[in-house]
Structure 1
Amino acid sequence: MILDWPACRNARDLGGLPTQDGGWIRRGALLRSGHHADLTPASVAAVRAAGVSRIIDLRWHREVAARPSPFAADPVYTHLPLLMDEITYAYPDDSYGPLLDHNTERVAAAFRAIAEAPPGGVLVHCHGGRDRTGVLVALALTVAGVGPEVVADDYARSGNSPAATMRNTLAHAERGYGGVEPYLRSIGIEQHHLDAVRDRLREAVFLTETRNGWDAFAEEYADLFRGERAAKIWDRALLSGFAELVRAAPGPVVEVGSGPGVVTAHLHGLGLDITGIDLSPAMVAVAGRDHPQVRYQVGSMTDLHLPDASLAGLVAWYSVINVPDEALPAVLAEFFRVLAPGAPAILAFQVGDETRVRKNISFRRRRPEAVAESLTAAGLEVVLQTVREPGPGERSPQAYVLARRPA
């Protein structure tokens, strides 16, 4: 995804690149760009708002002295030159193989910096965001399971960067070392570093499975449930109460797992400044088509890429049902992080203890008291907890829990 950072070349988020085993690179986990010396104040703010926990500057010392980074004094900034001060080896125009061979200590240090970064995204850059950045990013993506053709195609998105150059570089690692991981081990990278990079770049399996399932089911689901809100008086009543709370302290609201956009559009009609966020691009397309007056975007409730305490409200209407139990605490912690003090969050879900699978999507039923307890553990105050009996077409009671971040 291209990043809108004026005066910064080749800025993009590598999230969404597919892995060879059917997974994906997590959005916001690895970003790449050219140097930041010319960034506008707005662009500097955008970089800081991107959730970056480490910026790795691969430029020579002389480049940094000539064009200092605006982040040099930030704790997230790390300067690790990838190349020796004076190049003493011959190198072709169509491969970075010699870079790998002759800069082993520097490559190892930069790779470790990705592996050991604090939680959050890692932003890698050099001067133009092409050569040195391209090599380090290619190593990290390959370790995460991205295939050589996809790595090469991403490299080619930078200016004057033939995909064949990166293909040749990866082929050099294969011929000379047996592949990227054997190369990295040969220069001192340990298995825990490889595992750390793989874990931080790849999204959780349940997210990939959920996205793929909803992508395939999106149109059918929208047709099945279009117009159902009109028949659900208690749903509308609770959403109206939520909207009234938000209007008392207005600001931006998001619905996470917005699906075909019905609830987002309903709350938009109640006057809320609301955006729908969904993991499934197909669902986002359906929602945007059916409700063009509302904003919808692809994203994950596990990592919302929103500033701390920035939301006046959050809605999770039958969306935490796709989250496994072990991932729920982190999701609720993310809700707490993005809510402003006093802002409400409302959750809806089916009552029960079992997990059902339909259309290759896992649907988890939960006990309202357990969800309330998890919300409290995340730092939120439970305000309302209620259950209604099953309505037409429903097999189980329906639960609603409203909580707020303490004022």
Structure 2
Amino acid sequence: MRRPVAATPLGHNRDFLILWTGEAVSALGTSMSVLVFPLIGYAITGSPAQAGLATTAVLLGEVVARLPAGALVDRWPRGRVLLLSYLVGAGCYGSLAVATLAGALTLAHLVGIGFVSGVTDSFVAPAASAAVRTVVAEPDLPVAYTQLQIRGHAADLVGPPLGGALYSVARGLPFLFDTVSYLVGALAITRLRTPLPAPDRVRRPVLADVAEGLRFVWRHAVVRAILLWGAVLNFAVTLALVSVTLRLVRAGVHPSAIGLVDSIAAASGVLGALVAPAIISRFRTSTTTAVTSLLLAAVMVPMAWTDRVPVIGALLAFGIFLLPAANSGISAYLVTVTPDRLQGRVNSAGGFIAGGVVPLAPVLAGVLIGWAGGRVATLVGAACVALSLVPLLSSSAIRGLGRPGSWSATELPAEELPAEELPAEQPAGERPGD
């Protein structure tokens, strides 16, 4: 059962603002490093295919650790998970900064740290989502998630050009900045007043907890359709954007100009996030999600025929304008219908399904560019975005997903849940594993 939270305007919710600020600084550093990974990978190897290995390693680390991380987040104090994750992230990027500035960075080091960073991120995502649900009243969750979208897009707006500029001065500077950003995130966590403990629950083997999260996700028709959509869309967008980045690198475009592509798109994301609350409240969540996919697929086709940064940025800006509203609505829906004790596991199970094939996208982008050219790689990404509509249009459950006020009616009825998914109130002596 969720602890009641007093309805406090988000602008006056101290703990939410602390979470928002700490993660905003960390997201800024991460957005810089995401741009730098393929750039420095290409500088080390001179190969488009190998340039994507570090990004693949990050995504692979997230996928490998995602399921057990969610189960452990539901066992451990969530504030401690966030603190330790930020400190590990600082150590990882600190080692990259030192090695790069010393001229001793190797591809193996870059890929290894990328993998560890992905593992760390797999703990941050469910812990941070559960933390937001803890400090924000349920009616305010859709707006809270739009604020998180603003944070992410603002980081994407500033981070890539700043990362490209710092990379031009010294390749290790973006990693040094990311190290500091993780330390700021860790400091922010120590300032929270609201406790973020582990939820009270029955102790069982980790694998049993993992299975419980997957079972909840798969038995919930709306959640299942959303995550299948997300799996195809995330893979497709990653494939297309990595293809564009590597294509521009091969064309000799300056790193800061490449970062400008992301910044133009991120500016649209910020604007989209500002109007997202109005979109979420006025339009059905199913409609917003489907239209978002259509727009993304439409803009990626002409991107295949140009290397001009302003044109590519403008197309992306148009395509992602609705993405904050779609993401915010879906995120708020997921945390609303998920019991508190399952937050970590369901978040991780959802992330595993939605991102399970994403690690293949950067490698496939490099292979496609090397084999058939950047135009073909981008068009393949656009086709995959269009395919993401299939789980949306084929599911009556997702087609019926309305506005926030109707979400409670779509929750999975208790009688449809296995006994172990119901709130456990067993005597201590009868708890499994005691």
Shorter chain as denominator, the TM-score bin is under 0.3
Higher relative contact order (CA 8 A, sep 6+): 2
Using the size of structure 2 for normalisation, the TM-score is 0.23
More strand per residue: 1
Q: TM-score normalised to the size of structure 1?
A: 0.24
Give the structure with higher Rg (CA).
1
